[in-house]
Structure 1
Amino acid sequence: METIDLKQRIAQGENTTTEFKESFDQEVIETAAAFANTDSGIILIGVSDKREIRGITIGKETLRNWSNRIAQATDPRVVLEIESVDIEKKSVVLIHIAESSIKPVSVKGRCYKRVGNSNRVMSPQEISQMHLNATGQTWDRRLAGNAGSDDIDPKKVQWYLTQREEVRNVARPQDMDVTELLKNIKGSNREGTPTHAGILFFGNYPQSFLQNAQLRIVRFKGISVTHPVLDRLDCSGALWEMVDAAEEFIRKNIRLLSFRTSRSFQRDDKFEYPLKALREAIINALIHRNYQKHSDVRVFIFDTRVEVINPGTFPEGVSPDAPVHEPVNPILSQFMYDIGFIERYGSGIKMMKRLSNEWGNKAPRYEFHPLETKIIFDSPIQESTYVEIDDISEQLNERQKNALFHVQKSGQIATREYAEINHISPRTAYTELKDLTDKGLLTAVGKGRGIRYVRKMDDQVTD
């Protein structure tokens, strides 16, 4: 490396690939291991952490001794190059550490990872995940502890086959039992022992084997987790069951807004967030998370935003700006694709942005932490361009909210249907539907038993 390049590197300070040391010590060895476990790097000995070039005195065997000490203290041994360079007429030792092809590298039984400008001891879960990544094996393909074929729900397998056929036009296999099918789709090994993916998608109760494979949703009153909790739901079951339960909860705990646009006297109503975008964020968190971490996926609903928190980080080389598909759990991703819960691989981030823009909301933003990734959907209320916005959700009961959601999806609802969905009498159904018409949210169309309720627009005239 040229002297001018080294000066520029020193001026930039310590970071994920650069470390300064005034002398050779144990931390040099730990840094070498951290670089080998992460993304390579250089160690400059004779430079202070304040970027001052102090220089260092070395003898004939110094470089050889330091090289041997690093090699002997690391397992597997790191690949390094060491040399002495002159910077501002002072001797500085440059040690270049290559990224190891066999990971993780340990020092006295400890594994280190480079995070920012420091070294961090890796957790057992991180060590296991790094080993899997290095060997090309993924978590979802590993066997699920003591699970057996009896822990698989055949009904869930049949549901999956039906969905796959309807959504992806994949014919159902003929004369193949559940055990053989699971082997073919990597839901189990050759002996029929379920994989993590198999249990998480088809298990009777996946959390018996994967306690952290849960989804926790909390609705706070206010803008902070220190504020009172209004509602919460701990989702469990198969992966797709948790997604559906989460959507139902969110729909009941975000505001249904009624508004007039600035260019029209028409009135419309919609949720403050695009549900499809929130659903996509939750699916991404569930299928791309690091299941070896003890944390669960969390969704926090505040007055001004919704946060989806994934206990994991983007794969190396992947970011919101460069969403190349690099699945952490490719089998789970395939299962979700098969049933239509996700579309083209790697399209989720772009889709969430597009849906938010079409909804009139800001694009979701990301916050990155060493142990988790957070995607944030901001509420449009404070910055809305609508002339009038009314929060009507507090005026409705849960059955009425369900009815409005049903009408948004299906276009209409009848009194009998409302009663059946909510397990109430026709009289109560009629009363609550009439309340929705009185509030200007629905309008009755037709006569007698043929009456149905559709969305109401202002100044709409009906017979």
Structure 2
Amino acid sequence: MIETTIYTIPHHESEKVEFKTSFQDEVIVSLVAFANAKGGAVYVGVDDKGVAKGVSIGKETVQKWLNEIKVKTQPALVPEVDIWEHQGQQVVLFSVAVYPIKPVSFKGKYYKRVSNANHPMSVAEVAQMHLRTVNSSWDYFWRNGLTTADISLDKVKKVFDMVRRRNSNIPIDTSEQFLKKQELVHGKQISNACYLLFCKEDTYHTTIQMGHFASETVIKDDVTISTDIVTEVEEVMNFVRKHINKEIIITDQLENTERWQYPLEGIRELVVNMIVHRDYMSGGHSTIKIFPDSIVLFNPGPLPDHITVENLLSDDYVSSPRNLQIAKIFKEIGLIERYGTGIKRVRQLFLNHGLPEPLFKMVQDGFFVRVLTSPISGSDRVTDKVTGKVTGKVTDNQQKILTAITKDIYITTAILADMVGISQRKIKDNIQTLKEKGLLERIGPAKGGYWKVL
């Protein structure tokens, strides 16, 4: 549908905005990426600084562009089109909503919108996005080349017994019936979840690498496990307990009180989340690193496209397990209490333990969590310290950047741009100025490092 309306041009490109000076294949790529993410709009006739340069439009031009978009996309995209004049220059606005059947491709290639850029999707990402669309998941599919001979019936019985202890009225009597009831087997075929839950032999698909570090570069102990994912929960917890501190608090009671360095229930929740939501189609491994002052967990597989870290922290999201069958079994044996409450519980457990909330962020193609062993200075005290130190030395925008960094040392320039209300390029310019003034330092690489206010 073509309409003539008056719009304003956003200040900068974002998760839902793209600027193009002319109509070209990159316009269609952006529309595909928006359709595969949260929807968005492409402003044709606008440069990357948000300045209207105009575009020449003939009688049939826009209709030809629409036909080209439909021909080059699958399923065919039909965006909304608006044409208007901005400061004497003609601008064409193409907009699309989230597409109901995903992913959408451009000439057989798939893209998704991440921050203010279009990213090519991997085969695994394409498969996961399609499975979510049809309300299924990879772990429900049958495992090629493996049969019930490749799983341990002792492990099946152990899990079945755990389910029966929680629900004595379950209307099945044997482990074999349990496997069929849960759709884990069909004849001799086994699902991907069945293999990961009950594998007879170690498998690289479930590998978790764990290390105890004296410093960022000196490792004191390392263990790699590749067993079934139910057993892995306790093996990871055993490694954590081995390498974190425990204090004995002497009281006037008959028994003294034990207090661990971290809330073990919170750590267990993070470990369970890591195992349940892992992208098992990825070639990467999950990792856990224990440092003197923190524990870092990394898991292959990003958050679902409709959920951001900000959604997690504000509890503004609907749970969307990557592996539905695994999540279902973990819930039935009591490792998951209720879908969508894990992160909220973890944050509260750490606060109740007198520790800061864990730090969550997306890194590359995975999810990163860092928990700290001692409280960080309260944000108000940190902000006061920063304000007192830099008053008169920095602009208002630079002050906003420093304040935001004190609250999240892993914050990205894209998020800073949205918070401050300026372009990402200007954020980078301001950060460089703060570095030159000796007020800010980047610790580590661009990906995986963090900010330090000096």
TM-score (norm 2): 0.76
Residue number among 203, 219, 222 corresponding to 1:229 in the alignment: 219
Deviation at 1:314, TM superposition (A): 2.8
Task: Map Cα deviations across residues 23-48 of structure 1 (whole Å, 9 max, x no partner).
Answer: 11121121121112222211111111
Cα distance in 2 for partners of 1:377, 1:84 equals 50
What does 1:236-315 correspond to in 2, within 5 Å?
Answer: 236-257=226-247, 269-315=258-304
**Which residue of structure 2 lines up, in the alignment, with residue 389 of structure 1?**
none
Deviation at 1:114, TM superposition (A): 0.9
Deviation at 1:260, TM superposition (A): 8.2
Task: Map Cα deviations across residues 222-243 of structure 1 (whole Å, 9 max, x no partner).
Answer: 2x3xx11111111221111111
Residue number among 167, 178, 182 corresponding to 1:181 in the alignment: 178
**Which residue of structure 2 lines up, in the alignment, with residue 372 of structure 1?**
366
Residue number among 326, 333, 336 corresponding to 2:320 in the alignment: 326
Matched to 1:217, the amino acid is M
Return 5+ residue gaps in structure 2 as ranges. Answer: 379-454
Residue number among 158, 181, 187 corresponding to 1:191 in the alignment: 187
CA 1:52–1:233 in structure 2 vs 1: closer, same or farther (change >3 Å)?
same
Cα distance in 2 for partners of 1:170, 1:79 equals 53
Cα distance in 1 for partners of 2:227, 2:152 equals 11
Task: Map Cα deviations across residues 127-160 of structure 1 (whole Å, 9 max, x no partner).
Answer: 1111212222211101122110111211111111
Task: Map Cα deviations across residues 364-421 of structure 1 (whole Å, 9 max, x no partner).
Answer: 221223521112210127879xxxxxxxxxxxxxxxxxxxxxxxxxxxxxxxxxxxxx
CA 1:348–1:60 in structure 2 vs 1: closer, same or farther (change >3 Å)?
same
Aligned length: 368
| SS at structure 2 position matched to 1:194 | strand
Residue number among 204, 207, 210 corresponding to 1:217 in the alignment: 210
Deviation at 1:363, TM superposition (A): 2.0
Greater mean alpha carbon deviation, residues 110-119 or residues 356-365: 356-365
Deviation at 1:251, TM superposition (A): 0.7
**Which residue of structure 2 lines up, in the alignment, with residue 423 of structure 1?**
none
TM-score (norm 1): 0.74
**Which residue of structure 2 lines up, in the alignment, with residue 361 of structure 1?**
355
CA 1:371–1:170 in structure 2 vs 1: closer, same or farther (change >3 Å)?
farther
Task: Map Cα deviations across residues 39-70 of structure 1 (whole Å, 9 max, x no partner).
Answer: 22111111110011111111111101111111
Q: Which has the larger radius of gyration?
A: 1
Cα distance in 2 for partners of 1:372, 1:49 equals 29
- Kindly indicate whether residue 6 of structure 2 is the aligned counterpart of residue 10 of structure 1: no
CA 1:85–1:370 in structure 2 vs 1: closer, same or farther (change >3 Å)?
farther
| SS at structure 1 position matched to 2:189 | coil
What does 1:115-154 correspond to in 2, within 5 Å?
Answer: 115-154=114-153
Cα distance in 2 for partners of 1:357, 1:119 equals 37
Deviation at 1:258, TM superposition (A): 5.3
Cα distance in 1 for partners of 2:118, 2:303 equals 20
Whether the 8 Å contact between 1:165 and 1:172 is mirrored in structure 2 is no
Cα distance in 2 for partners of 1:70, 1:147 equals 43
| SS at structure 1 position matched to 2:146 | coil
Cα distance in 2 for partners of 1:170, 1:376 equals 41
